[in-house]
Structure 1
């Protein structure tokens, strides 16, 4: 007949093989792109990777909007950060993440006040439409954001960290799934070490 426990294990084993393969591909790519643990000054266009210097809220508008994998780098000393990926020697990766809406997710990390205000604005507009037969508001909200030390969740770098430099490195992964992007996170950690401010349990 059939054994459901064996069937379950068969699926788990197959998923592990697939995850290992995808993670291995990311590891090889990261090693090739970021030789000597450094972000290259020029990145080949076909790789769909962009490095953005972030200084003011408006800079977020140039960040890739849909699905992707992103890395936040800064010259701010946040303590015992073992991640080895750097840019221009002084910038070190302190956070890496994945999301289906990278631009807004990065905004939530670096300009948290603006993110919260704009989220509430979008929500109120949708609520007004609902009263006239519109659709419910289903946009994801991110309460857990980049945290430094024992500080609050979410930074406002234009207010509190003006003296420091901030960059966001974005891998465009449009049409990917979260399962794929999570393997990118794990591969990054395996190659460069997990950034100190990335506190997820992966």
Structure 2
């Protein structure tokens, strides 16, 4: 929206103020969500280690604090995946709008319709069909969403299934997906902080 014109910014009267304000609110929401996600990641990694120890070496678990530790670990792991999924969904929708909608047709009304009339899977398919994302990234996004749904709707069965896949690997996958999607955003418009190890 704020593209340079002959080396200068657009005139104030030329700005679409309604769209600019919406973009700023969206930026603030995503920035805060991503900041919270980065703070949650460390707790999720500790949780994953606890859960992996539980599944691989049950004899080394501190039985006195067992239930509290496991409950807290599962809670932290679940919160991380709920937040990660929110960021990924927002990134997918924003990238789809940015890359697929004709720049001459972009407006607040078009963005609202595009965002609300299509669901997450529609946006993901659009990105894939337009070859903005490849099969590998689409598959990883689908797996992160599946993990999120398992954690949100059936914690016990999700954790037993995750035990064979290693929770730390699931966190790495989620971070990889988030980083790859952030790389596709317009000039870092979303302002999402990169994860420390990327």
Q: Is the TM value for this pair above 0.5?
A: no
Structure with greater proportional strand content = 1
In terms of fraction of residues, the more helix-rich structure is 2
- RCO higher in structure (CA 8 A, sep ≥6): 1
